[in-house]
Amino acid sequence: MKKAIRKIDLFIIISLFFTGLFFILLIATKGDIARWLVMENEFDFSFTDHFRHIAFASDRLNFYFNTYDATFPAFAYILYYLLVLIDPPSVPWDVNGWRDARDYGFNLLAYIMLTLILVLVFKLLIDKCLPEEGATRTTLFVVALILSAPFMSGAIERGNISFLTAVMVLAALYLKDKDSPVCREAALILIAFAAGLKIYPAIAGFIYIKEKRWKEGVRLLIYGLTVFFVPFAFVGGIPALIRYLQVLFFFENQGYCSWTNIRNFLLSISDVLGQYENSAYFVKYFKIAENLYLIFCLISLFRTKQKWKYALYTAGVMALYVPYSYRYVSVYMSIPLVTYLMEKPEDQKNIYCILFALIFTVPCYGYFTGWKADLFIFLPIYIMMLYSFAEDWLKRR
């Protein structure tokens, strides 16, 4: 009997094939395909997310009041402020002075070093999650991920903290089922820290409810509230908290034409249909659609019998629900990818492997269509979520 190809091998082959083709086309098109791939089709904002928030944090007590773009909880800015203290400027950077922060001292080198360390931690975590795959496979697997559009021309190119957040959540899911009480408690703290960076990783707490781990769920809630509220005491206190909530409310009502989250995906479709001028009217319905998606994910989490899908439905919220987000949120789909590969081979369907590979590659084939790269990154995510919904809702229970 012919032996079936291992799913991780199938993923690596598909992912690296298109990524390799991208590098060939990079030469053939004299770099034009790179301009197509990079976010917003230009390189002027490389690393902006990292250094913009460092610039904000340099004015520790006032940054929430200086700009509406300080969209992270206070815990994240405490970490950014620690980076400021490594080589502090004589005066705080302007809110629009992220390039000054990037070019100051060894700040850019520090970002590169931190990213390299995070990649090494990510590789170590993959080795722990997939011990039976061997060092060669896991190395190729991590290379495929790092060179993919969500990572290379998403989280890493923009310097977005989503990469760190994804690693924290994945580490938490790895540790939460260990026999060691220390590991299980560390999992709770990691989820709380991840939520302290981006808020929406708190959705992972629903996994504890699904598994009826009530005591741990209560401790997670306490950790989460502590990590969220206490850091505000160091960045402006209660007025800063109120201002941050106003910022969240402001962005909750925004939308722009892109192929990323539910609201903006639908706005892009309305643009294709020539109805974008009516987008202000449509947005209220698109909000309903995104909230229905959130509800479907949560209910599906409690319906599914496939454990790896706990990560799929929570990461699916992190990747597609957040109203004002960009390409880098697609890195969260690496979390269910790893939990999928942790399943028994007979429980790993080919369709999921292929869709994951199409997410985590460079979709160079899209270059020839004239459509934006984000469509080809996010369309496999939408297809995967719809297929999973159908699988868990239409089959007989």
Q: pLDDT category, 249, cuts 50, 70, 90?
A: confident
pLDDT value, residue 396: 54
pLDDT value, residue 41: 76
pLDDT at 384 over 80: yes
> What number is the average pLDDT over the span 370-386?
96
> How does DSSP assign 30-78, residue by residue?
TTHHHHHHSGGGSSTTTTHHHHHHHHHHTSTTTHHHH-S---S-HHHHH
pLDDT digits (tens, 9 = 90+) for 221-248: 999 999 999 999 999 999 999 999 998 8
pLDDT value, residue 346: 85
- What's the length of the chain? 397
pLDDT value, residue 258: 81
pLDDT at 262 over 80: yes
pLDDT value, residue 277: 66
pLDDT value, residue 322: 85
Distance CA 106, CA 39 (A): 25
| Least confident window among 65-69, 297-301, 324-328, 388-392 | 324-328
Residue 276 vs residue 191, higher pLDDT: 191
* Contact yes or no for 332/359 (Cβ under 8 A): no
Q: Which residues contact 316 (CB under 8 A, 6 or more apart)?
A: 297, 333, 336, 381, 385
169 burial type by CB count under 10 A (0-12 exposed, 13-18 middle, 19+ buried): buried
Q: pLDDT category, 255, cuts 50, 70, 90?
A: low
Of 137, 30, 192, 123, give the one whose Cα is nearest residue 334. 123
pLDDT value, residue 204: 95
Mean pLDDT (the chain) is 93
Distance CA 318, CA 311 (A): 10
Both tokens of 109, joined, read 């080198």
> What number is the average pLDDT over the span 343-359?
94
Distance CA 322, CA 261 (A): 6
Q: pLDDT category, 141, cuts 50, 70, 90?
A: very high
Calculate the CA dihedral of residues 172, 160, 16, 133 and round it to 10 degrees: -20
pLDDT at 2 over 70: no
Residue 274 vs residue 151, higher pLDDT: 151
pLDDT digits (tens, 9 = 90+) for 152-198: 999 999 999 999 999 999 999 999 999 999 999 999 999 999 999 99
- Residue 176 DSSP symbol: T
pLDDT at 1 over 60: no
pLDDT value, residue 23: 96
pLDDT at 25 over 70: yes
> What number is the average pLDDT over the span 110-123?
97
Residue with tokens 């009530």: 214
pLDDT digits (tens, 9 = 90+) for 205-228: 999 999 999 999 999 999 999 999
pLDDT value, residue 280: 67
% of the chain exceeding 90 in pLDDT: 82
Q: pLDDT category, 323, cuts 50, 70, 90?
A: confident
pLDDT digits (tens, 9 = 90+) for 331-341: 999 999 999 99
* Contact yes or no for 325/199 (Cβ under 8 A): no
Both tokens of 179, joined, read 């026999």
pLDDT value, residue 275: 77
φ, ψ (nearest 5 deg) of residue 58: -65, -25
pLDDT at 254 over 80: no
Strands (E), the chain: none
